[in-house]
Amino acid sequence: MKDTKVMFRFYTIPEYVKEQDFLCDQHKKGWAFRRVYFPGLYVFSRCEGEDVVYQLDYNQEGRAEKQAYLRLFEDCGWEYIQDFFGYSYFRKPAAQMQGKEEIYCDDGSRLAMIERVFKGRMIPLLVLFFLVIIPQLVLHGSGMRSANQFFFGLFSGLFFVYIVIFIQFGLQYWNMRKRLR
């Protein structure tokens, strides 16, 4: 029987909760998360099936002073796994917890993390969207010679992917704000 498996998953920027659940699910089935590689290859090792909570944090300051940041998480019982596109991956066995435990214990700090994700990941995407994708779409859409059709298709595809990401992010942010009120 194989002791390692690789799965491909694609999570957009605001889908970190789904990603956490996916890793938790795999661990329960006896596959411990080892590493994720670009563009979304998740490597697992066979293990005893166990209830383990996975958490993703996004904190540029923490990454800048990594030792002190990781020390605090380790002190609190969180095992650090890796960084990937700005997110830091942690896990902790449920057996070591009293009740349900997460790295964020109130909505205020959860919202603050989403705002950091927005600044770090969404703003560059927005810039790309308005300065590259929209102008290219207009450019290739206006001529419509056959050479342009390929690029028009390409940028249309990108346009829709971006729109989906923006809507997802907006909804998540909005829901969090609503819960806080």
Partner 1 sequence: MDSHIRKVYVPMTETGFYILLCLQKPMHGYAIVQKVDSLTDGVVRIGAGTLYGSLSKMEKDGLIRFVDEQDKRKIYQITELGSDVLALEKKRIERMCRNLEEVGQ
Distance between CA atoms of residues 170 and 104, nearest Å: 20
Nearest residue to 56 (alpha-carbon basis) of 91, 6, 7? 91
* Contact between 87 and 63 (Cβ < 8 Å): no
Nearest distance, CB of residue 11 and partner 1, angstroms: 19
Tokens for 87, please give them.
């997110």
Taking the least distance from each CB to partner 1, the nearer of 3 and 75 is 75
Taking the least distance from each CB to partner 1, the nearer of 103 and 154 is 103
Taking the least distance from each CB to partner 1, the nearer of 22 and 80 is 80
Nearest distance, CB of residue 104 and partner 1, angstroms: 5
Q: Which residues bind partner 1 (CB under 8 A)?
A: 55, 57, 59, 61-62, 67-69, 71-73, 75-76, 78, 98, 101-106, 108-109, 112-113
Nearest distance, CB of residue 114 and partner 1, angstroms: 12
Residue found under tokens 């969404």: 122
Nearest distance, CB of residue 85 and partner 1, angstroms: 17
Tokens for 77, please give them.
């019982």
**What is residue 180's three-state secondary structure?**
helix
